[in-house]
Amino acid sequence: LPTEQARFSSLTLRRAHDSLADDVRLGLTAADKWLPCKYFYDPRGMALYERICELPEYYLTRTETAILKHHAADIIALAPAPLSLVELGSGSSAKIRYLIEACLARQAGLVYYAIDISPGALDNGVRPLLQEYLDLRIVELVGEFTDGLGYLAREPGGPRLVAFLGSTIGNFTEGEITSFLAMLRRVLRPQDCFLLGFDLIKDTGVLEAAYDDAEGVTARFNLNILARLNHELDADFDLTAFAHRATVNVERSRVEMHLVSRRAQRVRIGRLGLDVRFRAGETIHTENCHKFSTAGMETLLARHGWQVLRRFLDPQEQFCLVLAS
Ligand SMILES: C[S@@+](CC[C@H](N)C(=O)[O-])C[C@H]1O[C@@H](n2cnc3c(N)ncnc32)[C@H](O)[C@@H]1O
């Protein structure tokens, strides 16, 4: 059997660092300051995100994992065989193992494409998968979702199941969801399936706790984006001069994460030759986490040509996975 190394390959289509400077200039010179949440995930951000996933308050990961564990065989049974798996924003590739197992139970070998803007799949979690599943090949595609899907659209091969887990779709604006679903439909082939995991609308208190945990891990995760700017753009953010804030915006059905300037201050971003002024209390909006209803999401999917095959929920109806073709 080919060795683990021979069953793993990594292809860089785009590096996050390449667009960081332009995006930071755009976001921090805007009237309402913001930063794109995709820059959370440098190696330290990845490690902090993994810790968030294990927090008692952060129900999302364990709920989605439980649904997958319970229904992986049902999901795969609804998709054509033989299949390859594609994961968008694969991160640590922890949840995909249930789909890998269900695929390998019905076909001889499997290729899993892990698409993520943050490189390091091998170190971040796919090594155990390669050790455990000897008929598994893994291709890491480092780049944006669009880069990875564009690459796969040009590659020959049979049907694919594209998984987009972790409620990452909740980080998109409404406009971004629209263009994402339209793009997905353009690049996938008629036999391909789409598995979407999204968080459901729920009690404000549960959401507040999930995004502002008692241990302060989410706060460190949020602040780490400033540390990244210090390292990569030669900025001089004083991390103690900013505070993490997570608020529930009921009207817009989302949790908003901000970094609040604790005082009036000026920050130098060396690589951009830019000084950024902050008023006391002024915020940098770093992330939106939209919550959906099953009906709302299914309407969005239908509007973009996706037919829902089946939906899977946990018993408390906190989280939903939808399989569409
Ligand atoms: C919320 S985490 C989810 C990780 C994993 N799917 C899970 O369910 O735990 C989002 C992941 O998507 C990646 N990501 C975010 N924006 C991206 C983009 N525009 N293109 C590619 N990957 C992106 C991040 O690097 C991160 O690994």
Tokens for 67, please give them: 């649904």
Measured between alpha carbons, how far is 145 from 88 in angstroms, rounded to an integer?
6
- Nearest-CA residue for atom 16 of ligand 1: 38
CA of 142 to the centre of ligand 1 (A): 11
Ligand 1 contact, 198 CB (< 6 A): no
In degrees and rounded to multiples of 5, residue 8 shows phi and psi of -125, 135
Instruction: Name the pLDDT band for 179 (thresholds 50, 70, 90).
Output: very high
Q: Which residues are CB-contacts of 202 (< 8 A; sequence separation ≥ 6)?
A: 291, 318
Q: Residue 279: which residues within 8 A CB-CB, separation 6 or more?
A: 261, 264
DSSP letter for 31, please.
S
The enclosing H or E element of 202 equals none
The pTM assigned to this predicted structure is: 0.96
Q: Is the CB of 41 under 6 A from ligand 1?
A: yes
- Residue 121 has what pLDDT? 79
110 Cα–ligand 1 center, Å: 22
* Region of poorest pLDDT, from 126-135, 228-237, 252-261, 277-286: 126-135
Q: Is the CB of 314 under 6 A from ligand 1?
A: no
Cα separation of 256 and 208, whole Å? 10
Residue 5: pLDDT band (50, 70, 90) is confident
Our mutation pick for probing the ligand 1 site, out of 14, 40, 41, 145, counting the most ligand atoms within 8 A of Cβ, is 41
When pLDDT is averaged across residues 105-132 and rounded to a whole number, the result is: 91
* Amino acid identity, position 286: T
**pLDDT of 234 above 70:** yes
pLDDT category of residue 1 using cuts at 50, 70 and 90: low
Q: Which protein residue has the closest C-alpha to ligand 1 atom 3?
A: 166
What is the mean pLDDT of the segment spanning 171-192? 94
Q: Report the percentage of the chain scoring pLDDT > 90.
A: 94
Cβ(89) – ligand 1 distance below 6 Å: yes
Q: At what angle do helices 16-28 and 217-233 cross, to 10 degrees?
A: 100
Query: CB of 258 within 8 A of CB of 35?
Result: no
Residue 244 has pLDDT above 70, yes or no: yes
Query: Alpha carbon of 280 to those of 44, 219, 283, 285: distances in Å?
Result: 28, 19, 9, 15
Question: Which residue stretches of 78-163 are H helix?
Answer: 96-104, 121, 127-132, 145-154
Query: 45-81: per-residue pLDDT in tens?
Result: 999 999 999 999 999 999 999 999 999 999 999 999 9
Task: Work out the percent of the chain whose per-residue pLDDT is above 70.
Answer: 100
pLDDT at 122 over 80: no
Share the mean pLDDT of the chain.
Answer: 96
